[in-house]
Amino acid sequence: MTLRCPVCRADNAAPATCRRCRADLSLLWSLEGRRHQLLAGCRAAVGAGRADEILRHAQEAHALRHDEDSRMYLTLGHLLERNFLDALRTLCTASNSQAPQAAPRVPRTEGPHDLSSPPAREW
């Protein structure tokens, strides 16, 4: 696993200090370690079919850093709880589109309408 230094943006594979600027990365590495444990907890909870544990671990991991893994477990937890709207919102957030809202109201027009044939063109 690599970690990008927030100071100089260098990728680092070894913990403690940045290879380029020598910034202290120990706190970031400990957060990533905790996040790795939480995602492992999600995997174990999936095997046990425990939606509440999946959501608890996934929400904490997602709070530390957003990525596809945490979103996947959030979505799965919502689906197992049959909370389809939150599952869809999580997926929509991942694809950078807006979560579904209530359908907009379309104003009704007056009078009868025949929808069986297209309207005649005026030339």
CA-CA distance, 59 to 63, in Å (whole number)?
6
Model pLDDT for residues 64-109, shown as the tens digit of each residue: 999 999 999 999 999 999 999 999 999 888 665 444 554 445 555 5
In a domain, 22, yes or no: yes
Q: What total of structural domains would you count in the chain?
A: 1
Flag whether 110 is in a domain.
no
In a domain? residue 32: yes
Find the domain containing 62 and state its range.
3-94
End-to-end Cα spacing for the chain: 68
Residue 68, domain member (yes or no): yes
Looking at the DSSP bridge assignments, the partners of residue 105 are: none
Contact 93, 71 (CB under 8 A): yes
Name the nearest CA neighbour of 69 among 99, 40, 28, 112: 40
pLDDT category of residue 22 using cuts at 50, 70 and 90: very high
Give this prediction's pTM.
0.69
How many helices (H) and strands (E) the chain has is answered by 4, 2
pLDDT tens per residue, range 24-71: 999 999 999 999 999 999 999 999 999 999 999 999 999 999 999 999
Write down the pLDDT at residue 119: 58
With tokens 């009078």, the residue in question is: 111
